[in-house]
């Protein structure tokens, strides 16, 4: 939730919120900085390309088996930097730049990398007075370090893959002592003294008087320049009524990267923008600074709730990635030499023989810290995903139930309300797995508590859900009510765990409870204590089917600068400016650890977070925050989640129906149809909106919503298998078309449709009153089958699809096998032992492949090899199931009850053979008009070896 008036708030807070919000439903841009209002961004952006003061001191070069070090010098101020270059396993190059001798240590981001990345040997190929050439292992891959000005080029053969500082925009503002007013006055006094003394001896000298005049002018100009620099926000900065003291002065870092041959770049979430990132020459850069942006606008580079400083670049030859490991406020500028050129302009270039190679230039600017960048060299999209996963980890493997449907509202009023909503789903035969409670369930916004009147017997409520094999999520936010009668507050204060203000006292700000403290989650001992609060004997009323939602963890501070924490607040020795974008990750990390500990390490956690950073994928799910019930917000949910998937965070979704405002029935239905095919599927609504449970919009719309929720549940085996793969490999679950079709330029900017895994293509209907959509079906020699009608379509075409309100265009790739469970029950847990139907979609070669993954759905026993993982394949008219994990042990009661083969021919006979050698006939039907063969009751266990032969 963004700040908005709720119940039980103090009159002062209500008044303050009323002033701030003024009843508007749109973002107040004035609450958030532009680059011109962010002193370091303005300062760095004013630098001109091609004037780099940095050169490499080649005589300082040292090369060990694992790293190269080299000093750089700024010829303007003579400050030296230390460059470190590493070749990492998996085709990754790491570049670190820090001050050689800083006045004090500069912040280096901890806890994001899963380990110190393993290195591989570097070797020197050649060296002269102009630079050095290093081998990156493969014979054709090398790094060229040029000395004057400093520049770093990564080459493959004769091609430049990426250049660093080719535009000369490397900046490293060194830490320095501030020359305070007293020092300046002393210097001026000394100047007057020596002037008078000299005048006494040389008063008759006209030459001296002229010298004195020039010297005075020079001194005044120097003082004026110094004053201007101070005014420019180097040592203190004011935004609106907020002052930032900047005790360490200017400390920004910046570096530019050039990408020859590249026109498409992606990533750096979170922004409400298209998948393909735009050039920023004529506006603000993209901003990465976790913020609670009330009613955010679309299609602009403003910062939102999370920040992952990872960018992917792609063309038909190669995919690369840049991971800028810095947790301070960061701005990213993108420019392109082909930006603005029309298709006709590009054709004209081709006809006229223009030799201009497309190029994208990217510049990263961070307020503090060091330069620590990982260059992921691909060369395929999947290689980049693996490379990034090797650094920051993979998506956590969620409990199967969390892939079902979630019902949420700010707020369900009381236990009776929860019970009534739960019963409503049963009455209308709509499955769901989780019901959610927002902040009003607590005792006066004191987290880890329950309202004693409205939720007097929480265990009774939870047990009622458990009896139906359903679960609950309750919110636990990281702002703690300052109240001496509140156990959590007293503990945190007594242990000294709160973030401190610049004067050393506990930092306090306004949030939902009124005056609130903010636990310092950067501290390991604080996180351990927080985790201990989720124990069943600490979190009274909690049970094993209660999970957690971390909201407001940017952190949101209603009366803070840009609705967040002051940058000069202190986390131990570090300022908040150094760690800001990490705060939300640490909150989710501690919460997930708490859920893990309460079960003795056996149960997989489920934690939803609003704020996030690189590595957040290891701890749970993310949603796109406080969206609105508008068609454009429905559309933007697709590129927002695709962008997150590209940088490791697969478990993403948007509030179905829109958080703010009230959707029309048409918009609500279309949003359910879209959300059911996105990884995290939750409906949520603001407390001031009318109720919108799925059955409140008339029987016809209830039926439409029921149908698409049931579609989600039939596909849970496939969703679960995709998350297992994401957990193992780092590949995104919901992915852009270009990931699977990297050589097809027609896919590069598509963000109104997407793939789930590689085998399902979804083109949601996101236009009001739509009568049809045009979907691009990729794959020149491929085919796609409409999953509803089984109609076959060729790949590499734009297909117009007429739609009605019941339509959601979904296609299965020819050459794939997808398992489904068609017996939908009230929750996923109730379907555990139900049988499977296999959908076999044949390609033009009449072959197909797929997988089936089964485990207990909720524990970590899969790590002990307790699972079933099978390869399903169809070739030469034989469908077989083969064990992919012979050393794994798990049994299932599920069986294969139906096999549907799309694109088939009619057989004369079908038989099934099991491991015991028995061969039995299988009943079948054949629809000649659609070439669909249905095999009935082959009667084999889902975990067994078997073959089905068509004769």
- The pLDDT value recorded for residue 199 is 38
Q: What is the pLDDT of residue 27?
A: 80
Query: Does 130 map to a domain?
Result: yes
Residue 707 has pLDDT above 60, yes or no: yes
pLDDT, position 593: 98
pLDDT reading at 11 higher than 60: no
Please say which residue of 374, 392, 410 terminates a domain: 392
Peptide bond into 527 cis (omega under 30): no
403 found inside a domain: no
Spatial separation of the C-alpha atoms in residues 86 and 78, rounded to whole Å = 26
Q: Which of 18-32, 230-244, 418-432, 683-697 has the lowest mean pLDDT?
A: 18-32
How many CB atoms lie under 10 A from the CB of residue 29?
A: 12
Backbone phi and psi for residue 643, each to the nearest 5 degrees, phi listed first: -65, -40
- Does residue 782 register a pLDDT over 80? yes
**For 22-36, 75-89, 270-284, 286-300, which range has the lowest pLDDT when averaged over its residues?**
22-36
Residues contacting residue 263 through CB under 8 Å, at least 6 positions apart: 315, 336, 338, 358, 360, 748
CATH number (domain holding residue 317): 2.60.40.1760
pLDDT, average across residues 402-413:
98
Q: How many domains does the chain have?
A: 2
End-to-end CA distance of the chain: 60
- Report the pLDDT value the prediction gives residue 21, as an integer from 0 to 100: 41
Position 212 pLDDT exceeds 80: no
- Residue 3: what pLDDT? 58
Q: Is 771 within the bounds of a domain?
A: no
CATH code where residue 879 lies:
2.60.40.1180
The percent of residues above 70 in pLDDT, for the chain, comes to 90
Q: Which pair of structure tokens corresponds to residue 203? A: 């008063």
- 882 and 874 Cβ atoms separated by less than 8 Å: no
- Per-residue pLDDT band for 915 (boundaries 50, 70, 90) equals confident
Q: What rounded mean pLDDT belongs to the chain?
A: 92
- 284-296 pLDDT tens trace: 999 999 999 988 9
| Mean pLDDT lowest among 90-99, 203-212, 791-800 | 203-212
pLDDT tens digits, one per residue of 837-879: 999 999 999 999 999 999 999 999 999 999 999 999 999 999 9
Residue 406's pLDDT is what? Answer: 99
Q: For the segment 644-654, what is each residue's pLDDT rounded down to a tens digit?
A: 999 999 999 99
Residue 911: band (very low, low, confident or very high) from pLDDT cuts 50, 70, 90: very high
In sequence order, what E strands does 855-890 have? 868-875, 878-883
Domain range for residue 111? 45-173+247-392
Cα 344 to Cα 299, 349, 350, 747: the distances in Å are 26, 9, 10, 20
In a domain, 72, yes or no: yes
Four-CA torsion 29, 31, 35, 37, nearest 10 degrees: 130
Query: Is residue 288 within 8 Å of 310, Cβ to Cβ?
Result: no
Residue 350 has pLDDT above 60, yes or no: no
When pLDDT is averaged across residues 341-365 and rounded to a whole number, the result is 67
Q: Give the pLDDT confidence score for residue 15 in this predicted structure.
A: 39
Judge whether residue 764 has pLDDT over 70: yes
Band the pLDDT of 516: cuts 50, 70, 90.
very high
The pLDDT assigned to 340 comes to: 56
Does the pLDDT at position 411 exceed 80? yes
Residues 436-442, mean pLDDT to the nearest whole number: 98
Q: How many helices (H) and strands (E) does the chain have?
A: 17, 53
Q: Of 363, 392, 421, which residue sits at a domain end?
A: 392
**67: in domain:** yes
Does the pLDDT value for residue 468 go beyond 70? yes
Domain boundary among 392, 420, 452: 392
What confidence category does residue 917 fall into, taking pLDDT thresholds of 50, 70 and 90? confident
pLDDT average, residue stretch 183-199: 42
Residue 890 pLDDT = 98
The fraction of the chain above a pLDDT of 90, given in percent, is: 88
* Predicted TM-score of the model (pTM): 0.93
Contact 718, 820 (CB under 8 A): yes
Helix, strand or coil for residue 348?
Answer: helix
Query: What pLDDT is attached to residue 619?
Result: 98
Residue 149: pLDDT above 50? yes
Mean local confidence (pLDDT), 153-158: 95
873 lies in some domain:
yes
- Residues annotated as catalytic (active site), given as ranges: 551, 626
Least confident of 537-546, 656-665, 912-921: 912-921
Q: Is the pLDDT of residue 475 over 80?
A: yes
Does any domain span residue 269? yes
For every residue of 575-597, DSSP letters joined together read EHHHHGGGHHHHHHHHHHHHHHH
For residue 215, what pLDDT band results from cuts at 50, 70 and 90?
very low
**Residue 700 resides in a domain:** no
């Amino acid at each position: 939730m963004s700040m908005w008036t709720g119940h039980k708030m103090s009159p002062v807070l209500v008044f303050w919120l009323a002033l701030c919000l003024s009843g508007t439903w749109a973002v107040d841009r004035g609450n958030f900085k532009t680059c011109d209002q962010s002193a370091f961004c303005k300062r760095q952006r004013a630098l001109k390309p091609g004037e780099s003061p940095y050169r490499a001191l080649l005589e300082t070069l040292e090369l060990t088996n694992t790293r190269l070090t080299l000093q750089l010098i700024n010829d303007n101020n003579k400050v030296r930097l230390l460059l470190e270059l590493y070749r990492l396993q998996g085709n990754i190059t790491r570049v670190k730049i820090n001050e050689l001798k800083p006045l004090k240590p500069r912040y280096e981001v901890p806890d994001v990398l899963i380990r110190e990345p393993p290195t591989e040997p570097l070797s020197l190929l050649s060296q002269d007075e102009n630079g050095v050439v290093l081998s990156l292992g493969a014979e054709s891959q090398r790094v060229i370090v040029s000395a004057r000005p400093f520049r770093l080029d990564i080459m493959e053969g004769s091609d430049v893959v990426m250049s660093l500082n080719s535009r000369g925009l490397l900046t490293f503002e060194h830490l320095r002592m501030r020359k305070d007013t007293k020092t300046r006055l002393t210097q001026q006094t000394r100047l007057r003294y020596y002037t008078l003394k000299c005048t006494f001896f040389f008063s008759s000298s006209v030459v001296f008087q002229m010298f004195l005049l020039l010297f005075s002018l020079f001194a005044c100009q120097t003082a004026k320049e110094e004053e201007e620099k101070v005014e420019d926000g180097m040592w203190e900065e004011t935004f609106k009524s907020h002052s930032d003291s900047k005790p360490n002065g200017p400390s920004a870092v910046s570096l530019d990267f050039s990408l020859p041959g590249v026109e498409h770049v992606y990533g750096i979430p979170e922004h409400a923008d298209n998948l393909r990132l735009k050039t920023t020459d004529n506006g603000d850069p993209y901003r990465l600074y976790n913020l609670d942006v009330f009613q955010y606008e679309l299609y602009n580079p403003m910062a939102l709730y999370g920040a992952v400083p990872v960018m992917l670049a792609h063309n038909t030859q190669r995919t690369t990635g840049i991971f800028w490991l810095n947790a301070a406020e960061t701005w990213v500028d993108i420019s392109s030499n082909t930006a603005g050129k029309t298709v006709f302009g590009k054709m004209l270039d081709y006809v006229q023989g223009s030799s201009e190679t497309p190029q994208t230039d990217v510049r990263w600017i961070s307020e503090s810290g060091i330069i620590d960048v990982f260059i992921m060299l691909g060369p395929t999209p999947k290689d980049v995903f693996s490379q990034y996963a090797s650094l920051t980890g993979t998506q956590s493997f969620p409990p199967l139930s969390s892939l079902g449907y979630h019902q949420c509202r700010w707020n369900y009023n009381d236990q009776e309300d929860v019970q009534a909503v739960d019963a409503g789903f049963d009455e209308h035969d709509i499955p769901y797995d989780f019901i959610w409670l927002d902040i009003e369930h607590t005792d006066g916004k004191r987290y880890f508590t329950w309202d004693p009147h409205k939720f007097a017997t929480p265990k009774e409520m939870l047990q009622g859900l458990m009896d139906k094999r359903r679960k609950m999520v309750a919110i636990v936010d990281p702002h703690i009510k300052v109240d001496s009668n509140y156990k959590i507050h007293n503990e945190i204060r007594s242990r000294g765990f709160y973030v401190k203000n610049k004067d050393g006292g506990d930092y306090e700000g306004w949030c939902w409870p009124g005056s609130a403290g903010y636990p310092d989650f950067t501290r390991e001992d604080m996180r351990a204590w927080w985790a201990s609060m989720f124990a069943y004997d600490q979190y009274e009323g909690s049970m094993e089917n209660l999970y957690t939602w971390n909201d407001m963890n940017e952190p949101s501070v209603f009366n803070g600068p840009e609705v967040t924490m002051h940058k000069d607040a202190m986390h131990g020795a570090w300022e908040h400016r150094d760690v800001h974008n990490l705060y939300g990750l640490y909150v989710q990390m501690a919460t997930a650890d708490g859920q893990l500990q309460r079960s003795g390490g056996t149960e997989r956690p489920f934690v939803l977070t609003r704020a996030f950073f690189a590595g957040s994928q290891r701890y749970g799910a993310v949603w796109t925050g406080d969206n609105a019930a508008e068609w454009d917000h429905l559309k933007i949910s697709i590129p927002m989640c695709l962008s997150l998937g590209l940088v490791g965070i697969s478990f993403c979704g948007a509030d179905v129906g829109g958080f703010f405002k009230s959707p029309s029935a048409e918009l609500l239905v279309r949003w359910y149809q879209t959300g059911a095919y996105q990884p995290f599927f939750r409906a949520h609504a603001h407390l001031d909106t009318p109720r919108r449970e799925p059955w409140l919009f008339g029987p016809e719309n209830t039926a439409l919503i029921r149908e698409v929720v049931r579609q989600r549940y039939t596909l849970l085996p496939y969703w679960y298998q995709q998350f297992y793969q994401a957990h193992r490999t780092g590949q995104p679950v919901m992915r852009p078309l270009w990931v699977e079709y990297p050589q097809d330029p027609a896919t590069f900017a598509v963000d109104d449709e997407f793939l789930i895994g590689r085998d399902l293509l979804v083109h949601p209907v996101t236009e009001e009153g739509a009568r049809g959509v045009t979907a691009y079906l990729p794959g020149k020699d491929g085919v796609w089958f409409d999953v509803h009608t089984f109609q076959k379509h060729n790949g590499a075409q734009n297909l117009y699809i007429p739609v009605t309100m019941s339509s959601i265009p979904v296609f299965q790739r020819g050459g794939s096998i997808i398992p489904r469970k068609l017996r939908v029950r009230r929750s996923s847990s109730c379907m555990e032992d139900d049988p499977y139907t296999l959908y076999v979609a044949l390609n033009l070669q009449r072959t197909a492949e797929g997988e089936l993954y089964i485990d207990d759905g909720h524990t970590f026993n899969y790590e002990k090899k307790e699972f079933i993982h099978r390869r399903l394949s169809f070739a030469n008219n034989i469908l077989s199931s083969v064990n992919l994990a012979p050393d794994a042990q798990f049994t299932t009661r599920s069986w294969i009850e139906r096999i549907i083969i799309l694109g088939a021919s009619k057989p004369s006979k079908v038989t099934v053979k099991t491991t015991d050698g028995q061969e039995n006939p299988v009943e079948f039907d054949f629809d000649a008009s659609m070439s669909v063969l249905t095999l009935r009751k082959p009667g084999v266990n889902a975990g067994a070896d078997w073959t089905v032969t068509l004769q």
